[in-house]
Chain A
Amino acid sequence: MEQPLVRKVRVKNELGLHTRPATLIVKLLQDSKSEVLFSYKKETINAKSILSILILAAPKNAHITIQVKGVDALATMERLIESFENGFGERESVSE
């Protein structure tokens, strides 16, 4: 049995994993042939499900553990991390 790739990432964008980033993640994973899981606190969920990502309710600065298993695991992981790193194209902090 192959080992899943495991990485930890931080949620950088201000609003956390809300609808828009969740949609982006699911779109990004649409063509991926790997199984992708997110863990936050005690929950582990299927990252290809918008609803499941929403249920995680991960706020800004939450640490998410990503597990990817499958033929294109490496590429999938890279794209995911890039997405997290740039805060899903949203601003990191909002000054009022």
Chain B
Amino acid sequence: MSQSDEAWEELCLKGYPICPGIAIGPPFFFTVAEENIPEFSVPHDLIDHEVDRYYIALKNSRKDLLSLQKRLQKEGGNEAAAILGSHLEIMRDPMMTVEMEEAIRVRCKNTEYVFKTVLGEYEKKFNKIPDEFFRERLKDFQDISRRIIGHLRKHERCTLAQLNLKSIVFAHELSPSDTAEANTEVIEAFVTRSGAETSHVAIMARAKGIPFVSNVEFPDLTISVPPKVIVDGCAGQVIFNPTKETIKYFKDEQKKLKIRAKGLQKKGILEAETIDGYKTSLSANIEMFSELDTLHHFGGEGVGLFRSEYLFLARDAFPSEEEQFLVYRSLVEKVEGHPSVIRTFDIGGDKLGNFHLSRYEKNPYLGCRAIRLMLKEKAVFKTQIRAILRASAFGEVSILFPMISGVLELREAKEVVEEAKTELLKTGIPFARNIPIGCMIEVPSAAITADILAKECDFLSIGTNDLVQYSLAVDRGNPSMSYLYTPAHPSIIRMIKMVVDEGIKAGKTVSVCGEIAADPRFTPLLLGLGVHELSVSSPSLPIIKNVIRHLSIIEAEELVHEVLRCVTPVEVESVLERAYQKILPDL
């Protein structure tokens, strides 16, 4: 047989389905500069050149950090600037200067190879040190080395922004800044080796309706690139070198999905109302501004969660008040007539990206992030609050605080709002005086004290992604533990019930904005529990609305009783599945 397609065998790999949909196309390998570093010997007379290359990369890295630091200081991110200061300190360390030079000269190898090997040796030594103080340094160290290697290998440094052919992106892992600068128009699908259902790339893929399968152990595609790959985001599989029959099958499936989606979208303009007349509010989670254009098209009634931090994850600094104001104002104006909920910066943990605002922590999810970070970085926080307040003069907008764990944090955050209001009043800048203030319920302590919080704010918004992670003590990014991560756990159902009940008692709106809201199997349960508002990613809107329109609230309430009797997640899931099949047997 000749060197044709037959030389390849069809290969089907399994992974986790993260975002449904089918894509067929050529693969694009997204590598980071640290991967696949070549090794070669350098003759003695050229060693000076290698040493020079190292010092130039070091100088450029230093320049990066200095300009980043300047910008941060200007914007009040003093803590972050201090971390960059310690990075600069490390770059001046003899270990990174004269000792590295000596290593290049002694080993007679190319700079990037020597650098990487020497760093590897250092890392091993650092790893042996039991003390936490040292561990923190190791992270600084890795961060710095990534930057230096990036400068040494400028040509290998690829970004998703460079992608211009419609392709399926394969990566080991994608960071928030990688995906933030991606040109999603040409990304057909994502396939990653690691990553989790609630990572930034997953949220973005869902927002854009890009099929995504994670935890796929794909082969090294840099050696031989297969011409065509199929990604099935529904079943969570990736097929290399598909046969003609396979391609035909998936093309047909792709068509069917498109027809169904179109049918649902047509019904998008209808109200999110159950068959027995119970009206709910169905709004969208938004992270990219471009999504606003498709919001009405998908049948969204407003923005239930504007993840403000996504606006600038690809950048190195916080935007100024003026810049934020312009964004929030056009958000409010674009949504016209419907409310927008702006969640204040929720950074830390997996979304830290380029910011380095929080100090490296042993356990960032339990550390200084979201509202905790903002209450420490009050200048940054107040800038944002002022920008939101100014936008409130142009349309209905609310402020939502993430990761509140108790009423004291809520009070302190509200105080900042009051301060910002006083400042604006003094300068005569208009804003909505009674701007609603909401509290995210995503920490178990907040759920348990929902009655206290409900009294001191205007609405509650349950963020199930984090609530599940914190309640079940499961790291959502850890693939070996993901079997424990489920919103169907009876504890989660009870907690949601508790929060909704307390919200109703206090006369406050309760919305749900985590992934659970976008899972149609949970829709009847949430409505039955009394949730007033669901906020989901735009492409999920038609599906959820369709479920709501086929549902009777009385049946939904009965379903709640049945679910509350379940003692395991599996039981909960099967009860939900059965109810769902009854409501929509055709799906």
Contact = CB atoms under 8 A, between A and B. Distances in A.
A49 B94 CA distance: 5
Interface in A18-68: 18-19, 23, 46, 48-52, 54-55, 57
B137 A52 contact: no
A8 to B, nearest CB: 22
Contact of B99 (A49, A50, A57): A49
Contact of A55 (B90, B129, B133, B136): B129
A57 B130 CA distance: 9
A51 B131 contact: no
B93 A55 contact: no
Given A18-B131, A49-B99, A54 B94 contact: no
Q: What 9 A-B pairs are tightest by C-beta distance, nearest first? A: A18-B133, A49-B94, A57-B129, A51-B95, A49-B95, A55-B125, A49-B93, A19-B133, A51-B93
Nearest to B125: A55
Contacts of B141: 51
A87 interface: no
Contact of B131 (A16, A46, A50): A16
Contacts of B95: 46, 49, 51-52
29 contacts: A15-B131, A18-B133, A18-B134, A19-B134, A19-B136, A19-B137, A23-B89, A46-B99, A48-B94, A49-B93, A49-B94, A49-B99, A50-B93, A51-B90, A51-B93, A51-B95, A51-B96, A51-B137, A52-B94, A52-B95, A54-B129, A54-B134, A54-B137, A55-B122, A55-B125, A55-B126, A57-B128, A57-B129, A57-B134
Interface in B209-248: none
Contacts of A18: 131, 133-134
Interface of A: 15-16, 18-19, 23, 46, 48-52, 54-55, 57
Interface in B127-179: 128-131, 133-134, 136-137, 141
A46 B94 CA distance: 8
Given A48-B94, A51-B95, A57-B134, 9 more contacts: A15-B133, A19-B134, A49-B99, A50-B89, A51-B122, A52-B95, A55-B126, A57-B129, A57-B130
Contacts of B137: 19, 51, 54
A33 B36 CA distance: 42
Contacts of A23: 89
Nearest to A19: B133
A48 B92 CA distance: 10
B177 to A, nearest CB: 26
Nearest to B129: A57
Contacts of A19: 133-134, 136-137
B458 to A, nearest CB: 44
Nearest to A23: B89
> Which applies to chain B's interface (DSSP): helix, strand, loop or mixed?
helix
Nearest to A51: B95
Contacts of B129: 54-55, 57
Contact residues on B (Cβ < 8 Å of other chain), bracket: 10 to 19
Nearest to A48: B94
Contacts of B94: 46, 48-49, 52
Interface of B: 89-90, 93-96, 99, 122, 125-126, 128-131, 133-134, 136-137, 141
Nearest to B89: A50
A16 B132 CA distance: 12
A55 B89 CA distance: 16
A93 B130 CA distance: 20
A18 B131 CA distance: 8
A40 B176 CA distance: 42
A57 B131 contact: yes
A51 B99 CA distance: 12
Nearest to A16: B131
Contacts of A55: 122, 125-126, 129
B499 to A, nearest CB: 38
A55 B141 CA distance: 13
Nearest to A18: B133
Contacts of B93: 49-52
Contacts of B90: 50-51
Of B95, B99, B128, B137, which is in contact with the most chain A CB atoms at under 10 Å from its CB?
Answer: B95
B263 to A, nearest CB: 61
Contacts of B134: 18-19, 54, 57
B362 to A, nearest CB: 14
Contacts of A51: 90, 93, 95-96, 122, 137, 141
Nearest to A50: B93
A52 B96 CA distance: 10
Nearest to B96: A51
Contacts of A54: 126, 129, 133-134, 137
A16 B89 CA distance: 21
Contacts of A46: 94-95, 99
A61 to B, nearest CB: 15
Most chain B Cβ neighbours within 10 Å, of A15, A46, A49, A54: A54
A18 B137 CA distance: 10
B92 to A, nearest CB: 9
